[in-house]
Amino acid sequence: KNVETILHIFTSCEKTQPLWSELSLYIYRKTHERVGFNVSNTIFGEFLYLLIIKSLILLFFMSRFYILACVLQQIAKQLLINLTY
């Protein structure tokens, strides 16, 4: 089993890539601004786009929180399974 790192989860995980794609499309539909997510802005929250408003940044951080919560939920389930055996 591969060890999942924070870098992998937020930047290249096949399970989280659809979230970043959908978030990018959502931002485009609402603002007509193209926003791509890369290592710099998914890990550090750095945005170089001048027209992104605070509510979109909030959506971004909420998405990061959601991903982390899902990962932690999977870890907790695995721990419970291991403890019961």
Q: What is the pLDDT of residues 10-27, one digit of tens each?
A: 888 888 899 899 988 988
pTM: 0.56
What gap in Å lies between CA 30 and CA 74, rounded to an integer? 32
Q: What is the pLDDT of residues 25-66, one digit of tens each?
A: 988 888 787 888 888 777 777 665 545 666 677 788 889 889
What gap in Å lies between CA 66 and CA 59, rounded to an integer? 10
